[in-house]
Amino acid sequence: MNPPFLVGPCVAVLLLASALPVAAQARDRTDVGVVQAAPIDPLSVPRPSLRALRIVEPIAVDGHLDEGAWASVEPTERRWIQITPDPGMPATEHTVVRVLYDDTRLYIGAVLYDSDPEHLSIPGLEQDFDTPSSDMFGIAIDSYHDRQNGFVFAINPAGAVWDAQTFNDSRDIVPAWEGIVDIRTSVNDSSWIVEAEIPFATLRFKPVAGEQVWGINFTRRLRRRNEDSMWAPVPQQYRVYRFSLAGTLEGLTDLPRSRNLWIKPYALGERLSGVSAADPGSSGDVGLDVKWGLTSRMTLDLTANTDFSQVEVDAEQVNLTRFSLFFPEKRDFFLENEGTFAFQDVGLRNFRTGSSPRSFRLFHSRRIGLSESREPIPILGGARLTGRVGDRFEVGFLDTQTRSVNGTARASENFAVGRVKAQLSGGSSVGAMFVNRQETGVGVGPSEYNRAYGVDAQLYLFGDLALSSYLARTDERIPLGSDRNAGMVQAAWRSAVLDVSTLYKQIGDGFNPGVGFVDRSAVRRYFVTLGGHPKIRRAGILEVNPHIDVDVFTNLDGALETRTLTGGLELLMNDGSTLGLTYDDRHERLFVDTPIAGALVPAGTYEWGEPSLSFRSAGSRALSGSVALAMGDFYGGTRTSISSTVRVRPNPHVELEAGLDHNDLRLGGSRRTADLYNLRLRLARDTRSFFLLFVQYNELDDELITNARVNIIHAPLSDIFLVYTERRVLGAASAVIERGLTLKVTKLFAL
């Protein structure tokens, strides 16, 4: 297919895209006319406090703060402070929050005054909605008041909820966490209102007699003005869950000692067919997940006969490199408390670094229950223990057992992980990890095993300097090479205008984490970057981000393999869109003939330049999207890569997204294309009933992948899923590789 024919319509479309009681309301808005002459430093503002009021009668959660208790409790005071686009200035709209509680629940009521509520941005109704594109009210709760860890909830005006666990003072976040909450919203002609009920069983806290204090903060996003504001303001590079800078919630007395026992069984029926189906036909199964709060700070998770049939299929990728591709974990059981088990290259939020968890992970849970070709492997069961010992030590233990696969030589395996981290002052930490992968049930010959272990540290000094390092080693029955070690050290510094980072990493030729991920081994890497992020606020531009990167890889003997010099400029616009320009000067040396994108590239040295351009429009618009173009020489040939996405959101109930990734390659005297097409349709009847269709076509494999899912949330954290999945080869060899229809029902019992 001709690339201009595909790109033209995409680019054209993108260009076209370019009630409280009266007395309480009067008191809420007493400072509306306050004028502030100059921005304030958010760190100079005293941390605010809010007092909760105990009530006897429960609140009817309906999105209307009409009970008398809401008028009786004191609200947050003073106008909130902008984080962006004008840091340190008062928020342009007023927000008021009140907190109540009874013997079992915490209630939070918020009135978000708005001079133009008809233009609220609501991108969707689904769980974990698109928060950057939405008007939003956020709650961050540090229930231990350790100023490091907690829970965060974001609510849009339609009542959709995004929730997550956070660790290490905002540095790690796990969006897969889900808690039992009941949230209702309403919109009127002058504001929108949030009424939230959070059971104490959803949160973890110290069950002490008398009064206790929690950390808490609130944030608001006013999408049409690209404005974020906070009750307890923090510097722009941080988020609302920066608990070391949070305010406090006082007045909580004699909170209940909950059993914190959640039992969640499932039942499913499925029908499988296709040439790759091991056991075609109809079948049924049952399983169980259990979550038990052993103590206020230690949680045990158990799973039996684990099933992930409702998880969305992977997004296809085209590999134009000679290294492994990273596919993220999507399964909730492994994603929850993922931050505890993080031993990886660190990508620091708002710091420019050369590292990313997509390059190195000593433990990558995706290796459990999925083959290298991304086929499911049955999981018999598993256990996970996570939490804290005392005030300083964070621990995590995971053990999972898989079954052998019928009709293959794959044996059953046991996966065990141990993790401990000691928290230091200022959010710093040091830790250690051990990972073991062991064949089980092997009748003849020695069993295979793979072990990985290491120590790591993250240090935060002087407020703006971040240091990261690790040392790791692997062992197995038959080592792949002589050097089984890996190590990294990284330093990153950021000021109000500049950011600098440098990194050194070495991966041995025999380093092979069997339950981890490494994109490139047998190398030494040297990286340094210098960038800026000055605020402009002119001609529609909010921020300018120029940067220069130097990235060098050598083999273990010091011979140069890869050198990339990058100059780039990114513009952040006031409406939330971004424009990026980049030029890469590339040097690649191949020591042997190497297959790349299906062509055999001869050994030798290759040098080329590659300019690229990217644009992403504001996601809050009804019509939005992105486009990226890169072109230039490529290993003695040429490459033109074009990717584009168009998203249509006519209302919060409907979203249609179409994407294209086109690659035109001329390698080894021949021309080939490697194209991906995808289409996503999301429909939402309300915040509890959804339909998702995800269709992908991989031209390189001539394969069509279809995934359709109906999800009905019939009770808190309890679902009905109907899932249809099909993989089909097209063309002359047309055949259904795999087809499945699954009905799955779960029910949570909170005791």
pLDDT tens-digit readout, 698-731: 988 889 999 999 999 999 899 999 999 999 998 8
Domain count, the chain: 2
Query: Tell me, what's the pLDDT at 443?
Result: 59
Query: Tell me, what's the pLDDT at 22?
Result: 36
DSSP 675-705: -EEEEEEEEEEETTEEEEEEEEEETTTTEEE
Rounded Cα gap, residues 273 and 739, in angstroms: 5
Higher pLDDT, 403 or 346: 403
338 plus 205 within the same structural domain: no
Q: Which of 228, 253, 278 is the last residue of a domain?
A: 253
pLDDT reading at 486 higher than 60: yes
Collapsing DSSP states into helix, strand and coil, what is residue 26?
A: helix
Inside any domain, residue 9: no
Inside any domain, residue 745: no
Query: Tell me, what's the pLDDT at 561?
Result: 95
Rounded Cα gap, residues 269 and 151, in angstroms: 35
Higher pLDDT, 154 or 318: 154
91 plus 180 within the same structural domain: yes
Task: Note the pLDDT tens digit of each residue in 204-214.
Answer: 787 777 889 99
206 plus 121 within the same structural domain: yes
Which residues are within 8 A (CB) of 74 and not within 5 positions of it... i.e. 6 or more apart? 50, 51, 53, 98
pLDDT reading at 34 higher than 60: no
236 plus 332 within the same structural domain: no
230 plus 356 within the same structural domain: no
Inside any domain, residue 101: yes
Q: Which of 253, 268, 294 is the last residue of a domain?
A: 253
Query: Tell me, what's the pLDDT at 444?
Result: 58
203 plus 120 within the same structural domain: yes
Inside any domain, residue 642: no
Query: Tell me, what's the pLDDT at 700?
Result: 82
Query: Tell me, what's the pLDDT at 5?
Result: 38
Q: Which amino acid is at 726?
A: E
Range of the domain at 170: 36-253
pLDDT reading at 60 higher than 80: yes
pLDDT reading at 339 higher than 90: no
Query: Tell me, what's the pLDDT at 11?
Result: 39
227 plus 351 within the same structural domain: no
Rounded Cα gap, residues 217 and 240, in angstroms: 6
Inside any domain, residue 113: yes
- pLDDT > 70 fraction of the chain, expressed in percent and rounded: 93
Inside any domain, residue 652: no
Inside any domain, residue 517: no
Pairing of strands 53-54, 95-101: parallel
Mean pLDDT score of the chain, rounded to an integer? 88
**pLDDT confidence band for 480 (50 / 70 / 90):** confident
Query: Tell me, what's the pLDDT at 669?
Result: 77
349 plus 225 within the same structural domain: no
100 plus 200 within the same structural domain: yes
222 plus 330 within the same structural domain: no
Model pTM? Answer: 0.84
- pLDDT > 90 fraction of the chain, expressed in percent and rounded: 58
Query: What CATH number does residue 68 fall under?
Result: 2.60.40.1190
pLDDT reading at 329 higher than 90: no
pLDDT reading at 152 higher than 60: yes
Rounded Cα gap, residues 45 and 237, in angstroms: 17
Inside any domain, residue 634: no
pLDDT reading at 629 higher than 90: yes
Mean pLDDT of 351-373: 86
243 plus 341 within the same structural domain: no
Q: Which of 225, 253, 281 is the last residue of a domain?
A: 253
pLDDT reading at 20 higher than 50: no
245 plus 345 within the same structural domain: no
Query: Tell me, what's the pLDDT at 690?
Result: 96
Q: Token pair for residue 389?
A: 């010992």
